[in-house]
Amino acid sequence: MTLDPKDWDAFRTSAHAMLDASIDKLANAAEGRVWTPLPEAEKANIQANLPIQGVSHDVMQKQLESFLPYGVGNTHPRFFGWVHGAGAPSGLMAEIAAAAMNVNAGGRDHVAPVVERQVIEWSAEIMGLPADTSGLIVSGTSMATIIALKVARDQAMNTAQGQLVGYTSTQTHSCAAQAFDILGLGRDHLRKIACNDALEIDVHALQTAITADKAAGFVPFLIVGTAGAVNMGAIDDLEGLAEIAKAEGLWLHIDGAFGATAVIGEHARARLTGLSRADSLAFDFHKWLQVNYDAGCVLIRDEAAHRGSFSDRPEYLHGSERGLAGGAFWAVDYGPELSRGFRALKVWAHMKEHGVEALAAVIDRNIEQAQYLENLVKASPKLEMLAPVPLNICCFRYKFDGDNDALNEEIVVQLQESGIAVPSTTIINGQLAIRVNLTNHRTKESDLDMLVEAVLRIGGELT
Amino acid sequence: MTLDPKDWDAFRTSAHAMLDASIDKLANAAEGRVWTPLPEAEKANIQANLPIQGVSHDVMQKQLESFLPYGVGNTHPRFFGWVHGAGAPSGLMAEIAAAAMNVNAGGRDHVAPVVERQVIEWSAEIMGLPADTSGLIVSGTSMATIIALKVARDQAMNTAQGQLVGYTSTQTHSCAAQAFDILGLGRDHLRKIACNDALEIDVHALQTAITADKAAGFVPFLIVGTAGAVNMGAIDDLEGLAEIAKAEGLWLHIDGAFGATAVIGEHARARLTGLSRADSLAFDFHKWLQVNYDAGCVLIRDEAAHRGSFSDRPEYLHGSERGLAGGAFWAVDYGPELSRGFRALKVWAHMKEHGVEALAAVIDRNIEQAQYLENLVKASPKLEMLAPVPLNICCFRYKFDGDNDALNEEIVVQLQESGIAVPSTTIINGQLAIRVNLTNHRTKESDLDMLVEAVLRIGGELT
C-alpha cells in the first residue's frame, strides 16, 4: 500500500544499473556527438497518455537510460553554447544523498540549513564580502536578481517618495529588466546606459543620466553593474560604479552570473576587486564553478534589510526555541520559496571535494583558451573577430561579401547538426557573431582547433 | 586537469556505496526516530574553512553518508508536520539520470522540454483544464503563485487604470500576500475575507467587499481561492468563486498546493470540480503526490497571456528553426528562471512508474486516516478537536484548565525531541493546536495510535 518497492532487492538492482549507465555516460563525455536531436520514437514514448497503472522499476530504468544521450550536450568538451557549465561526476553522489533525505530546506533545525549557511559564508569570503553577509542558495542568477532587487526596492521605498529608477548598461543580462517588470517597477525605469568600445558601461554617461533623472523628479535608487557580460564577457568598472553609488547614495547590485567566480583565479582577479563593494551580488555555481544544474546564489550585505523583505512567517510556520521548529537560519526568511530541495548539498560537496584551487585552475585555463581561439581566428584570413575577448567568450565570424548574418547562422546550425561542436550566436554591434563560450573543464585546445577547422570547412562549402 | 575522477573505478565504487547507503535508509524509513537533531560534531565538520585543497571521493562519500540521519524526518511514517510529502525511492533513479545529463532546462531542443510539456499536459488533464493549458514546472506553489499572479496583474494593467485589488480568505497561505508584495501590488491590496464556521471563504462577504471596493474607486482584478487550506484543509466553494469571478470579470486563481491533487481520489473529488474553472492554478508534486523535493506546477488557461508576461528573449537567446536553438517549448518564455535543472524528469518518472491509481489510493487513505485520528481524539476525554477535518489535517489539543497554548506547544516539542512523532502547531480561532497533517504514503493507523498514546502520556506528565 506504500509507494516503496515491493521487492527491495530488485529495486536495488535497477538503481545500480541506472548509476552504472550514468557513470558510463560521464566517463565517455568527450566521445561522440555533442548534441543529438531527440528521435521521434523517444518523443512518442514520452508523450504517452496519462498513466493510470504503473510500470516496474526495471522498465523505468531502461526508459531513463534511453534518455541519457539526448540532453543539451553541455557535458561534452566541444559544447560552447550560451554559458553552460559542464557539471562534474561528483555531483551524482550529492544528488543521491539529497534524494534519499528528501528534505524541505525551507527552514527548521536539521542538516540542510547548516550546510546552506556554510555555502553562503564560503561564497561571501570568495567575493570579499564580510563573514556576516546574508544570502540564499537559489536556482540561478535570475532568481537571485529578483531577490536582491526586491530588497533594494523595499529599502528605497522606506525612505523615498516618487518613481524609482535604476541604471545598467546595454550589455547587462535581460534578467535585470525582467526583475524590474516582476517587481512592479516597470522595465522602462531601468535605464540602459551606453557602453564604451570594450562594451563596459560608460561611467560618465551613467553620471549624466542620474543627474538628468534627478532634475526631472525621478528617484534614482540602484545601479546594476556587470561582471562578465553574457554577449562577450565584459567586466564593468566596478570600482567606478561603487564610487558613484556611494556619492549618490544608491544600491550597487552586481550581476556576476559567471564572471564573478573568476575572482578565484589569477587572470581576472584584479578587475574584480569591486565585487567586495557590492550591496548585493548574484552569481551561479552551475556555470563556471561546474556544480550540477541548478544552483546559484544571492549575497546581500545588509542582513536586516534582506530579512525584512521576506520574513513574514504566519502561524503555521512559527519557530520554536526547541524541537524541529528551532534552528537559526530559516531560508523562508530570505526568499520567496517555502518549499525548497536540498540544493546547497551539491554545492557544499563540490567545493569540499574539488577545492578552490582546482576550480580556479579550470577558470584560468578557460580564459587562456579564449585567447588561444582569438589567436586562431586572427591567424585565419577567412575569419574576423567581432568583439574583444576580456574573459572567456570569443565572438567571431566567417568573412563573406554577401549576407554575413545568414551565412554565420547557417554555419552554427550545421556545426550543431553535425554533432561536431555547439557554439551559439549573438548580435554584436548589429552583426551576427559565432559565439564561443568557454566554461567547461573538459575542453582542450585541440577541441578549439577542431572547431575552427569545421567553421572554415562549412564556410567554404557555403560560399 | 578536468574535474573528472582520476580513477573512474574508485569513483564508481564510492558512488555505488553512496547509493547502497541511501537505499538502506529508505528501506528502513519506518524504523527508529522520526527526527534527530544534528550532532555538534557533524555541525563542526560542515562548518569548515573555505576548502582550498580537495578531498577524495571516498572521504566525501563517508561524509555524505553521515548526513543521512539528520534530515527533517519526513521520510518516516510518523512525520505529521506542516505539509511535507514523504518522497519515494523511485526518485533516486530519476535524480541519478538528471545528474548525469546535467541539462539546463531553460529552453532549446532536447529531451527536457518534451518531458516538461508532457507533465504539464497530464497535470491539466488531472485538474480538468483544457489540453492546451499553459504551464511550468517550478520549485513549488510559492513560485507558481508569483508567476500566476504576475500574469493576472499584467492582464489587468492592460485594460484598467487605478489601484488593483484582489480577494482571498483569512485561511489562505501566506504566499498569496507575499506575491502581492513582490509584484509591487502591496500586501494590503489583497483583501482578507472572513470565513464561515468551516473556515471556507464567506462568499457573501466576498461579494460585499468587491462592491464596496468598486464604489471606492479601486479596481478588483483577482480572486484567490483555496483548495486545501494549510491550517486545517478547508476547501473553498470553488464553484461559487468561479461564478463571482465570471460575473465580475475577475481572474480566478486557485491555491491547491496539496488539496488540488486530491481530485484524483474519490473522497474529495466532488468538492474540487471548480478546479476546472480556474484561470490559473498552483499546486505541488512534492506534497501529496510524493514526488521528491522540490517540484510544483503552475497551470494557466490563457497561453498567450502567460507567454506575454515572461517572453522577452534577448539576442543571445534567439531561437532557430533548426539546430539546438530550435524546440517548440522554451521554459524561459513562461517564468523568471533562465537556468533550470531537469526537475520535470522526476515528476514524469514518478507518475509513469506509480500511475495515478496508486497515487490516488495514498491520498484517499490519508483522508481516511485523518478521520480515524479525529475519532481517536473524540473518544478520549482528555483531548478535544479545535477544527473540522474536511481533508487530511486534524487539529486538536490536550485539555487543560491552565495555559492551554503553552502546554500543547510543550507536548509537541517533547514529541519531536523524543523521536516518537513530529506533528507541528498552528493557531485555530486564537488557540494553539497540535496539528497532524497526513500526506505520507508510509503512515499506518498504528502510527496514529502511537501518536495519541504519546500525547496522552506527555500531557498527563505535564499536568
ipTM score of complex: 0.97
The pLDDT value recorded for residue A313 is 75
Q: Are B323 and B109 in contact (CB under 8 A)?
A: yes
Does the beta-carbon distance from B294 to A351 stay under 8 Å? no
Does the beta-carbon distance from B427 to A99 stay under 8 Å? no
Residue A316 has pLDDT above 80, yes or no: no
Beta bridge partners of A224: A253
Q: CA of A186, closest CA in chain B: separation in Å?
A: 10
Q: How far apart are the first and last CA of chain B?
A: 66
Q: Are A193 and A203 in contact (CB under 8 A)?
A: no
Contacts of A358 in chain B (CB under 8 A): 3, 54
CB of B242 within 8 Å of any CB in chain A? no
Q: CA of B19, closest CA in chain A: separation in Å?
A: 6
**Strand arrangement, sheet containing B164-169:** B134-138, B296-300, B280-284, B251-255, B219-226, B164-169, B190-193
What residue type is B438 in one-letter code?
Answer: L
Section A84-106 average pLDDT: 97
The pLDDT value recorded for residue B334 is 97
* Main-chain phi, psi angles of B136, to 5 degrees: -155, 145
**Mutate which of A12, A20, A67, A320 to disrupt the B interface (most B C-beta within 10 Å)?**
A67
The SS3 assignment for A153 reads: helix
Does the beta-carbon distance from B339 to A60 stay under 8 Å? no
A 244-283 residues with CB below 8 A of B?
none
Q: How far apart are the first and last CA of chain A?
A: 66
Spatial distance between the Cα atoms of B165 and B223, rounded to a whole number of angstroms: 9
Contacts of A52 in chain B (CB under 8 A): 355-357
Q: CA of B56, closest CA in chain A: separation in Å?
A: 6
The pLDDT averaged over each successive group of 10 residues in chain B (463 residues) is 95 98 98 96 96 97 98 98 96 98 95 98 98 97 98 95 96 96 97 97 98 98 97 97 98 98 98 98 98 98 96 80 88 95 98 98 98 98 98 98 97 97 95 98 98 98 96
Where do the H-state alpha helices sit in A28-167?
40-46, 57-67, 91-101, 111-127, 141-159
The grid coordinates listed for A122 are 564560503
Contacts of B338 in chain A (CB under 8 A): 140-142, 175
Fold for A88-463, please state it.
Aspartate Aminotransferase; domain 2 (3.40.640)
CB of A41 within 8 Å of any CB in chain B? no
CB of B335 within 8 Å of any CB in chain A? no
Q: By CB neighbour count within 10 A (0-12 exposed, 13-18 middle, 19+ buried), where does B446 fall?
A: exposed
Does the beta-carbon distance from B22 to A184 stay under 8 Å? no
What residue type is B154 in one-letter code?
Answer: D
What residue type is A171 in one-letter code?
Answer: Q
Where do the H-state alpha helices sit in B77-183?
91-101, 111-127, 141-159, 175-182
Does the beta-carbon distance from B340 to A75 stay under 8 Å? no
B 173-232 residues with CB below 8 A of A?
173-175, 177-179, 182-185, 230-231
Contacts of B64 in chain A (CB under 8 A): 93-94, 97, 345, 349
Q: Using DSSP bridges, classify how beta strands B431-437 and B424-428 pair: parallel, antiparallel or unpaired.
A: antiparallel
Does the beta-carbon distance from A111 to B70 stay under 8 Å? yes
> Shortest CB distance from A355 goes to which of B53, B105, B425?
B53
CB of B357 within 8 Å of any CB in chain A? yes
Spatial distance between the Cα atoms of B84 and B289, rounded to a whole number of angstroms: 10
Section A236-264 average pLDDT: 98
CB of B315 within 8 Å of any CB in chain A? yes
The pLDDT value recorded for residue B319 is 82
Beta bridge partners of A284: A296
- Report DSSP state, residue A201: B
CB of B129 within 8 Å of any CB in chain A? no
Spatial distance between the Cα atoms of A242 and A184, rounded to a whole number of angstroms: 26
Closest-CA residue to B383 (of B391, B372, B375): B375
From its phi and psi, is residue A327 left (phi > 0), alpha (psi between -120 and 50) or beta? left
Closest-CA residue to A337 (of A106, A180, A153, A115): A106
Average pLDDT, chain A: 97
For A441, nearest residue in chain B (alpha carbons): B2
The pLDDT value recorded for residue A156 is 97
Task: For residue A294, say if its preceding peptide bond is cis, omega within 30 degrees of 0.
Answer: yes
Could you please report the per-residue DSSP string of A349-388? HHHHHHHHHHHHHHHHHHHHHHHHHHHHHHH-TTEEE-S-
For B65, nearest residue in chain A (alpha carbons): A97
The pLDDT value recorded for residue A314 is 77
Q: How many CB atoms lie within 10 A of CB B17?
A: 17
Spatial distance between the Cα atoms of A101 and B75, rounded to a whole number of angstroms: 7
The grid coordinates listed for A319 are 519557530
Could you tell me how many helices (H) and strands (E) chain A has, helices first? 13, 11
**Mutate which of A25, A46, A93 to disrupt the B interface (most B C-beta within 10 Å)?**
A93
Does the beta-carbon distance from B341 to A96 stay under 8 Å? no
Contacts of A99 in chain B (CB under 8 A): 22, 87, 91-92, 95, 292
Residue A30 has pLDDT above 90, yes or no: yes
Does the beta-carbon distance from A14 to B50 stay under 8 Å? no
Spatial distance between the Cα atoms of A225 and B246, rounded to a whole number of angstroms: 46
Spatial distance between the Cα atoms of B76 and B347, rounded to a whole number of angstroms: 21
> Shortest CB distance from B110 goes to which of A72, A290, A325?
A72
pLDDT 10s digits, A164-211: 999 999 999 999 999 999 999 999 999 999 999 999 999 999 999 999
> Shortest CB distance from B292 goes to which of A26, A99, A126?
A99
Does the beta-carbon distance from A4 to B88 stay under 8 Å? yes
Q: Using DSSP bridges, classify how beta strands B164-169 and B219-226 pair: parallel, antiparallel or unpaired.
A: parallel
CB of A92 within 8 Å of any CB in chain B? yes
Does the beta-carbon distance from A101 to B67 stay under 8 Å? yes
A 158-177 residues with CB below 8 A of B?
173-175, 177
**Mutate which of B64, B437, B458 to disrupt the A interface (most A C-beta within 10 Å)?**
B64
Instruction: Please tell me the CATH code under which domain B98-355 is placed.
Output: 3.40.640.10
Domain coordinates in residue numbering, chain A: 8-71, 88-463
> Shortest CB distance from B94 goes to which of A43, A64, A294?
A64
Does the beta-carbon distance from A97 to B357 stay under 8 Å? no
Looking at domain B356-462, does it have CATH number 3.90.1150.10?
A: yes
Where b means 16+ CB within 10 Å and e means fewer, A12-48 reads bebbbbbbebbbebbbebeeebbbbbbeeebeeebee
Spatial distance between the Cα atoms of B5 and A29, rounded to a whole number of angstroms: 12
The pLDDT value recorded for residue A352 is 98
**Strand arrangement, sheet containing B383-385:** B383-385, B393-398, B431-437, B424-428
* Rounded alpha-carbon distances, angstroms, from residue B110 to A55, A77, A78, A391, B104: 24, 18, 17, 29, 10
Q: Are A257 and A55 in contact (CB under 8 A)?
A: no
The grid coordinates listed for B169 are 480568505
Q: Are A403 and A303 in contact (CB under 8 A)?
A: no
Does the beta-carbon distance from B174 to A314 stay under 8 Å? yes
pTM over cut 0.90: yes
Contacts of A65 in chain B (CB under 8 A): 97
Q: Which is it for the CA torsion B344, B347, B351, B357, positive or negative? A: negative
Q: CA of A10, closest CA in chain B: separation in Å?
A: 12
Task: For residue B294, say if its preceding peptide bond is cis, omega within 30 degrees of 0.
Answer: yes
> Shortest CB distance from A362 goes to which of B3, B42, B416?
B3
